[in-house]
Amino acid sequence: MEFLPHREPMLLVDHMEMDENNVVHARYTVTGEEFFLKGHFPGYPIVPGVILCEIMGQCCSLLVKEHLAGKIPFYAGLDKIRFKRQVRPGDTIEIKGTITKQKAMIFFVKAEARVDGELCAQGILSFALVQRPND
């Protein structure tokens, strides 16, 4: 909560930590009650691919925690995104991510999501850290 500006119903992280090699490890368990499952698809709910990208992005925010003060992370791009497996209610998504490049306040992160060790989604996520407007 300290590093993410997201709150319910868009908070999609249950746990995240960074290891000694600056790799983020995180997880989110799909309960089946999420708003995005209500119409995707009735009778056979599947987590939408764009939501898998959002889950990976939120989990990777820990990688830029030193730069987040007064800033909001916005997606700047999604590259080489691939979806390999459906994610359904009851699945626990395990995310791994690492920064591959940085240009000023734009960060490029290689991320992957797995369920039971099986790859669900992967790609390069880029984030721009933008100054938070004064409220």
8-57 pLDDT, tens digit per residue, is: 777 899 999 999 999 999 999 999 999 999 999 999 999 999 999 999 99
Contact predicate 70/132, CB 8 Å? yes
- Break the chain into its structural domains and give their ranges: 15-131
- Structure tokens given for 26: 């995180």
Give mean pLDDT, residues 104-124: 97
Give whole-number Cα distances, 90 to 61, 72, 87, in Å.
24, 30, 9
Give catalytic status of residue 40 as yes or no: yes
13-27, 54-68, 70-84, 101-115: lowest mean pLDDT where? 54-68
Tell me: pLDDT of 72 over 60. Answer: yes
| Residue 78 pLDDT grade (very low, low, confident, very high; cuts 50, 70, 90) | very high
Instruction: Considering the candidates 6, 15, 25, 40, report the single residue annotated as catalytic.
Output: 40
Give mean pLDDT, residues 92-121: 97
pLDDT value for 115: 98
Burial class (CB in 10 A: 0-12, 13-18, 19+), 71: middle
CA 110 – CA 79 distance, rounded (Å): 10
pLDDT value for 1: 58
| Residue 76 pLDDT grade (very low, low, confident, very high; cuts 50, 70, 90) | very high
pLDDT value for 3: 64
CA 114 – CA 87 distance, rounded (Å): 9
Rounding to the nearest 10 degrees, give the CA dihedral for residues 122, 126, 131, 133: -60
Q: Which residues contact 34 (CB under 8 A, 6 or more apart)?
A: 9, 47
Nearest one of 94, 103, 29, 27 to 64, comparing CA atoms = 103
**CATH 3.10.129.10, domain 15-131, yes or no:** yes
